[in-house]
Structure 1
């Protein structure tokens, strides 16, 4: 069963959280779980698709974050975006997607948010996080 089949609806966010998550000046911190159970956190640019409740991160399959998710399919991940004393944390289930159409969709959304195309190295994939919990403060 795919992740989207298991979830009934994307979590709702306020207009202020939506705007915060789409601000092109912000980056996030993505936390995944290594195979040994320790945490790996990396700064990343990401996109938020509120209608689908989906975070997308462009990367390569050989990156630590992708390898962590490939080693433990369906593991929990978090994406946290902070600006001063305001923050939003998105929690959900992550997966690495190699499907060309979905990678292209991730790249298109990235270019729209950050006003430039993402890098296109060999082995490019998109990490998708199906968000089921949202925490925020001062947003």
Structure 2
């Protein structure tokens, strides 16, 4: 069942506010999926999901590699289109998905992920994580946040 990313049903939103371990799927450089358990927060007002992680983790490296590849492709496309005076903006970030389930209930969020390293973004992600999971993560100077701009929500809550 499809849901509105910015205006989910009360049941769908409540399910995302319960404490659940989620899965995150990121693309490896060879295109195969990399699937790991994570904590996720969902912010429908902003149309975002957030995952906090160590900047050296494989999931973060996957997203950074996909971002670099997308930027290179966008630059090549922009050069090719310059003659025709039509430069479409590149789609930023790696395509990723997060999912959680409990019994017959499940919810998936999909979108494009970018990595944020600024203190304000990381602090906001940590605050939201602590709110959802009931504990504040230990301090980590290498912490970053994967910010997913959502374009699809589905599930049965």
Normalised TM-score (structure 1): 0.88
Question: Which of the pair is proportionally richer in helix?
Answer: 2
Rg comparison, structure with higher value: 2
Question: Which stretches in structure 1 are left out of the alignment for 5+ residues?
Answer: 1-8
Question: Which stretches in structure 2 are left out of the alignment for 5+ residues?
Answer: 68-92
Secondary structure of 1:106's aligned partner: helix
What pairs with 1:23-34 in structure 2 (closer than 5 Å)? 23-24=18-19, 26-34=20-28
CA distance in 1, matches of 2:17, 2:54: 23
Following superposition, the deviation at residue 36 of structure 1 comes to: 1.0
Match of 1:110 in 2: 129
Following superposition, the deviation at residue 35 of structure 1 comes to: 0.7
CA distance in 2, matches of 1:10, 1:135: 9
Please, what is the CA RMSD of the aligned residues? Answer: 1.3
Following superposition, the deviation at residue 117 of structure 1 comes to: 0.5
Following superposition, the deviation at residue 85 of structure 1 comes to: 1.0
Would the aligned equivalents of 1:10 and 1:131 in 2 still touch at CA under 8 Å? Answer: yes
Secondary structure of 1:135's aligned partner: strand
Would the aligned equivalents of 2:5 and 2:152 in 1 still touch at CA under 8 Å? Answer: no
Residue of 22, 38, 48 corresponding to 1:44 = 38
CA distance in 1, matches of 2:101, 2:5: 22
What pairs with 1:63-74 in structure 2 (closer than 5 Å)? 63-73=57-67, 74=93
Would the aligned equivalents of 1:11 and 1:133 in 2 still touch at CA under 8 Å? Answer: no
Cα shift readout 1:69-88 (whole Å, capped 9, x = no counterpart): 00011110000011111101
Secondary structure of 2:63's aligned partner: helix
CA distance in 2, matches of 1:53, 1:81: 18
Residue correspondences, number: 129
Residue of 4, 14, 39 corresponding to 1:19 = 14
Normalised TM-score (structure 2): 0.79
CA distance in 2, matches of 1:10, 1:78: 13
Would the aligned equivalents of 2:96 and 2:112 in 1 still touch at CA under 8 Å? Answer: yes
Following superposition, the deviation at residue 10 of structure 1 comes to: 5.2
Secondary structure of 2:7's aligned partner: coil
Would the aligned equivalents of 1:58 and 1:118 in 2 still touch at CA under 8 Å? Answer: no
